[in-house]
């Protein structure tokens, strides 16, 4: 990238300076860094020169240093010398770090910004062209592949959010209206007495910071993604996205087909409930079944509707057999419950040694069992 080339040229200049001063180790260090950033023939030639330099050359260069320094001191004003020395060390990386002081200052500046305009360094009246130009400049400086300074990733996300909001007419309008209120409520946080920018505040971008970077610099998108701007908004149109939509639609049809048998069963059960007729009789009197009748065999009482004689067209003998079977089954269940309760109370009385409770348990009656025994005697 162009930024790498500029930094490599600066490293070569520093290497030449140190080589002139006889500091071969420092010169070699900056030349190797220049080769890593942006390989060039000039850096290779200087590295070969440093490697081939002998002790005599080093001594001669060391003797020339006082004369060159004296000439520069006599011909250059003191303020200019101080300025040049300051510029020579401004872009140098801190000891043991793989980032420059300029990169660190760029990240630190964005941390102190209060809004998106300040992040990009543009005015609130700046057009889209100026905003995009400012973003490109900062993106090259803050991209995580280029800037290894702590906080560079967050700063890179911040400029991505800024350009996404400020180049969208609707989002920019809302941001201008409500941004200051959000800053007071949630956009700013206090950290050791300093106000820092909250990178997650405000309106989020539609894409990731890396995708925005690729859109502006023509980088290849993963999965052949193509972004277009329509009606003031970025829209994505990808082959994979279309395939995913088709797969989702196909999957929906598949699920529908799988659920079809269950839906059919549900519909059939609902329809069958509509065709179920009311019962012909009831063992208990009710407004719907007010007329009492008795079976011919066991004399079991049951109740029918008022229009039973005209509505029922079946066999009366078969109906009474059904009534007697249901009545006897109900008695059997009730008798079982009564006996079970009586046996439980007797066991409890024996377990606690309670004579009164034992007497009461023995006197518990079982009316359903009595009726059942009576019916069995009739049969």
3-state SS, residue 207: coil
Buried b (16+ CB within 10 A) or exposed e, 333-368: ebbeebeeebeebbeebeeeeeeebbeebeeeebeb
- Tally Cβ neighbours within 10 Å of residue 125: 7
Single pTM value for the model:
0.33
The reported pLDDT for the residue numbered 287 is 92
pLDDT along the chain (379 residues), means of 10: 72 85 85 84 84 56 46 45 43 62 86 87 89 88 83 86 86 77 48 47 53 60 45 52 63 79 85 71 92 90 90 88 93 94 92 91 93 82
- pLDDT for residue 245: 63
pLDDT tens sequence across 210-232: 666 666 665 543 444 444 455 55
Q: Which CATH architecture has domain 109-220?
A: Orthogonal Bundle (1.10)
Confidence at residue 213, expressed as pLDDT on a 0 to 100 scale: 66
Inter-helix orientation angle 101-111/152-166, to 10°: 50
Rounded distance, CA 28 to CA 49, Å? 10
CA–CA dist 262, 241 (Å, integer): 32
Q: State residue 241's pLDDT score.
A: 53
Q: Which residues are registered as beta bridge partners of 291? A: 304
Upper half-sphere CA count for residue 353 (Cβ side, 13 Å): 0
Q: What are phi and psi of 276, to 5 degrees?
A: -75, 125
Task: Please classify residue 228 by burial: count the beta carbons closer than 10 Å to its beta carbon, then call 0-12 exposed, 13-18 middle and 19+ buried.
Answer: exposed
Q: At what angle do helices 24-37 and 2-20 cross, to 10 degrees?
A: 170
What is the C-alpha to C-alpha distance for residues 307 and 249, in angstroms, rounded to an integer?
A: 57
**Within 13 Å of residue 172, how many CA atoms lie on the same side as its CB?**
17
Per residue in 165-219, pLDDT (tens digit) is 888 888 888 888 876 444 544 444 444 444 445 544 444 455 566 666 666 665 5
HSE-CB at 262 with a 13 A cutoff on CA atoms is: 5
Indicate the domain borders of the chain: 2-85, 109-220, 291-378
Using one digit for the tens of pLDDT, what is the confidence trace for 354-379?
Answer: 999 999 999 999 999 999 898 888 76
């Amino acid at each position: 990238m162009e930024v790498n080339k500029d930094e490599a040229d600066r490293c070569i200049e520093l290497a030449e300076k140190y080589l002139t001063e006889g500091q071969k180790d420092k010169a070699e260090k900056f030349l190797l860094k220049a080769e890593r950033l942006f390989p060039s023939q000039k850096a290779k030639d200087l590295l070969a020169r440093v490697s081939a330099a002998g002790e005599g050359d080093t001594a001669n260069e060391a003797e020339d240093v006082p004369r060159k320094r004296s000439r520069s001191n006599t011909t250059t004003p003191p303020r200019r010398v101080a300025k040049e020395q300051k510029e020579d060390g401004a872009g140098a990386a801190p000891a043991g770090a793989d980032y420059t002081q300029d990169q660190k200052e760029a990240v630190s500046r964005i941390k102190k910004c209060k809004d998106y305009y300040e992040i990009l360094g543009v005015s609130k009246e700046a057009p889209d062209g100026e905003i995009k130009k400012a973003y490109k400049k900062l993106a090259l400086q803050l991209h995580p592949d280029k800037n290894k300074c702590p906080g560079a990733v967050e700063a890179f996300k911040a400029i991505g959010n800024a350009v996404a909001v400020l180049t969208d007419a609707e989002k920019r309008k809302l941001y201008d209206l409500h941004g200051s209120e959000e800053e007071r409520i949630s956009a700013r946080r206090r950290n050791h007495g300093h106000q820092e920018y909250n990178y997650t505040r405000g309106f989020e971008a539609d894409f990731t910071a890396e995708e925005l970077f690729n859109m502006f610099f023509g980088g290849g998108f993963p999965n052949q993604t193509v972004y277009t701007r329509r009606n003031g908004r970025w829209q994505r149109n990808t082959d994979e996205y279309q395939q995913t939509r088709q797969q989702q639609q196909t999957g929906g049809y598949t699920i529908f087909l799988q659920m079809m048998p269950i839906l059919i069963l549900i519909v059939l059960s609902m329809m069958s409930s509509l065709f179920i007729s009311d019962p012909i009789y009831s063992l208990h009197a009710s407004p719907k079944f007010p007329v009492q009748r008795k079976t011919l065999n066991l004399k079991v009482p049951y109740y029918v509707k008022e229009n039973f004689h005209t509505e029922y067209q079946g066999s009366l003998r078969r109906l009474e057999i059904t009534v007697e079977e249901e009545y006897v089954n109900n008695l059997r269940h009730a008798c079982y419950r009564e006996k079970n309760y009586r046996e439980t109370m007797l066991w409890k009385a024996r377990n606690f040694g309670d004579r009164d409770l034992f007497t009461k348990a023995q006197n518990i009656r079982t009316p359903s069992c009595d009726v059942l025994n009576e019916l069995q005697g009739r049969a």
